[in-house]
Structure 1
Amino acid sequence: MNTQYLPSELSYYQMADSLNTQLQRLKSRMQAHLPELDRVSFALFDQQHKVLKTYADSAFWSLRQAHYEAPMNELPALMHCALQKENRIIDDLASLPSSKHVEMLLSYGYRSSAAIPCYEKDCFKGFIFLNSRTVNVFSEHSIELLMPYINMIKFSVVSENDIVHLIASTARQLFDEANLGLKDSQAHKERIGYYTKLIASYIADDYGFDDETVEHLSLFAQFHDIGKVRLPEQLICQHCQLDEVERAQMRDYIQHGMDIVDDILDSFGFPQHPSIMLLTEIMAYHQEYLDGSGYPKGLSGEQIPISARIVTTANVFDALTAHRPYRQAWSIPHAMLELEKMVNQGKLDRQCVNALREHQYDISVERDKYPEYDPKDF
């Protein structure tokens, strides 16, 4: 794998497999030094929400329902390790107080554990976890023997996460510089990201989504309409329904978005990672409908990647439940009826809509955090 260096001194693998695949390979190499090692995983610390979440796992295919996150302040032992930059070694997981995550590990036969806090320039990034199906496996000495591989894991995970967030940060900066006067734009991004994550998590087992995929889908979905920054401001801020000519002009934002993504990726040396494919799929196809009535290519059915189908559903739902200058926002139940109608018309993915229908209370709570502005208020 070639390493690309950015002006910001961020380095990353130019071409790389998924993080789960990388961890599987590194685990095999680590077993030469510690044969009892059965699992290697990385839990990512979300700086914005202060939660620790599963992210990459060498045992993904046997732990497909292991999607898990928890507020850091509810994990005092791990918080202490992170603050003190100390490893945490558990000789027998059965000795720990019962929790959902501990019970899941025990159910798969894991008995011992080591947690290694990872920092990048004094910024806490998360934990590397080592697990064995044997008790009393890990020690400071065994961790020291594995340190070259632990550093490789940290580099692979942290650098990929950083490059993904740097892409998102660049996109966010373009939105801010465009200054389109959309008061609710940040709230819209947060809601779209949440709906996308909710749907992706709901269908993860059916489509083999790992935590890395769910995380990146949620992040990139927030910038699905970045191409609008290259549209005329008067068109974006239109206070009445668009006519046919204006609608055709508005549709150009898809190609503008693709061009912007190409420009961003070109400035980063076009990294070839699975996550980048998700980004390009979302940008290109999030206005396509299963019946072929969408744009820009009129794709239908399985021609449309599931990543785009997820974001399409999230986007339609947010549009229905958002205020417009020419109409008030629909209630969540009313919007759900419309989504069901679109499923029956063959436009939206049934599983994606089911995910929203099954989580209406959670959606209501999230919308209270990121409310929609009413145009009449400004």
Structure 2
Amino acid sequence: MTTYVRTDPQIADTFLAGTLPARLKDLHQQIANVLPDIVRVGVFLVDADQARLTTWADSEDRVLPCPSGLASLPGNPALSRCGASGSAQTTFIRIDPALEWAAGERTCPLIAMPVSRGRSFYGFLVIESDPAVALPAHDIRELLAWGPLAASLLAQSIESVHTLIGTTRFALDFTLTRDRETGEHQLRLRDYILALATELSAAHGLGEEFIAELALFGPLHDIGKVGIPDAILLKPGRFEAHEWELMKEHVTLGHSMVERLIQDFRLHDTPGMQTLHDVVAWHHECLDGSGYPYGIHGDAIPMSARIVSTADVFDALTCQRPYKRPWSLDDALTQLQTLAGDKLDRDCVDAMFHARKRIEAIWQQHATGAPPTAG
């Protein structure tokens, strides 16, 4: 079956690209404080084979896929020399097609330098000047002197995002190993989140980068279940009242874990951490304040948590449990409509109805045991 869902590497790449403009803005500001004629800095990311340019991101908040006709690295001689030599390129007798596309008509590519760390090569940092101003030689020498440091800092930032993505994958794998149902729930939820957030994107201004971020971190909403005793977590039947109260503690356990993670590793400004915090802490809250564990309500519940909550309830209804049969998709969607406005966000529920075909394709894919879309 063909599915619309993006693969896990695509989600990760989109998230990574979305983190770059903020870092590039910082680099540009530092350069512009000394050389005001530098008007923009950007980066071309390369694919895993280092043969094609995949994405352009810059200090003007642009994140764009490189046009396929310009993406071949051999078709961009200056960038190819830069990558092969491992050193900056400053003379563009004939501007590379990709560099010309990124510059448009308002900037001029001045210097390109490799962005790498150890054996990992991520792409090219590009410094662009005002095309109406010819920079003196000593300014260019100054850029060449400290430019590699800027590229190294950018590489370090990219590597930290790769580490974060790897950590989330490890957490998902760990959960799958301990409790297969919770692990498979996370995989299903990721796909439902993608469908739901994509449907909501136009009305709520959700960019691709946020959608990718939510797809990466939303499935970790139940991470606190690692602290729930096996006798409760793996119980095949319904919970007794006291067991249910213990199970509900997974939210506060997960919330504490995330706050410790952010505090101990100083991740306050790390991309994705706010989304991770919100979905772990608030995914069982309800609009009318009847949720748990904090009883917050209305607009106090972030959109990220509302999306995860809606997908979470839908998945719980449509999945087999030892104590219940799975609900049909129609019955589950009808139940969501009953909960809309009081328990669940009405826009999120409406989006589930509008994305019905995509939701059904995801449900069938997982129900039939088709390979999950994780890469």
Return the TM-score normalized by structure 2. 0.67
In the superposition, relative to structure 1, how do residues 216 and 243 fare at CA in structure 2: closer, same or farther (>3 Å)?
A: same
Corresponding position: 1:187 with 2:184:
yes
Partner of 2:8: none
Q: Secondary structure at the match of 1:352?
A: helix
Match of 2:266 among 264, 267, 270: 270
Distance 1:260 1:189, change over 3 A: same
Q: Which residue does the alignment assign to 1:151? A: 152
2-structure distance, mates of 1:354, 1:83: 52
Conservation of the 8 A alpha-carbon contact between 1:321 and 1:331: yes
Alpha-carbon separation, structure 2, partners of 1:296 and 1:195: 24
Distance 1:59 1:128 in 2: 14
**1:170-191 alpha-carbon deviations (Å, 9 max, x no partner):** 63465266x23x2x44432223
Residue 347 (structure 1) aligns with: 343
Q: CA separation in 2, counterparts of 1:289 and 1:235?
A: 24
Paired residue for 1:310? 307
Provide closer, same or farther for how the CA distance between residues 346 and 79 of structure 1 changes in structure 2, counting only shifts above 3 A: farther
C-alpha distance in structure 2 between counterparts of 1:332 and 1:279, whole Å: 28
Matched to 1:154, the amino acid is A
1:299 is displaced (CA, Å) by 0.8
The answer (yes or no) to whether the contact 1:118–1:128 under 8 Å persists in 2 is yes
> Superposed, which structure 2 residues align to 1:1-378 within 5 Å?
19-31=20-32, 33=35, 35=37, 37-38=39-40, 40-41=42-43, 43=45, 52=54, 57-60=58-61, 76-77=72-73, 85-86=83-84, 91=95, 118-125=115-122, 128=125, 144=144, 146-159=147-160, 161-165=161-165, 167-169=167-169, 171-172=171-172, 174-175=174-175, 179-180=178-179, 182=180, 184-203=181-200, 213-265=210-262, 268-274=264-270, 275-343=272-340, 345-367=341-363, 369-371=365-367
The answer (yes or no) to whether the contact 2:37–2:130 under 8 Å persists in 1 is no
Question: Identity across aligned pairs (percent)?
Answer: 25
Distance 2:128 2:361 in 1: 36
Q: When you count helix as a share of all residues, which structure comes out higher?
A: 2
Matched length: 333
Q: Is the 8 A contact 1:43 1:129 kept in 2?
A: no
Q: Aligned with 1:119: secondary structure?
A: strand
Q: Which amino acid aligns with 1:58?
A: S
Cα separation, 2, equivalents of 1:334 and 1:201: 23
SS at match of 2:42: strand
Task: Output the aligned Cα RMSD.
Answer: 4.7
Q: Which whole-Å CA distance do the structure 2 matches of 1:51 and 1:246 have between them?
A: 53
AA aligned to 1:357 is F
Identify if the C-alpha distance between structure 1 residues 125 and 321 changes in structure 2 by more than 3 Å, giving closer, same or farther.
Answer: farther
Query: Aligned pair in 2 of structure 1 residues 124, 351: CA closer, same or farther (>3 Å)?
Result: farther
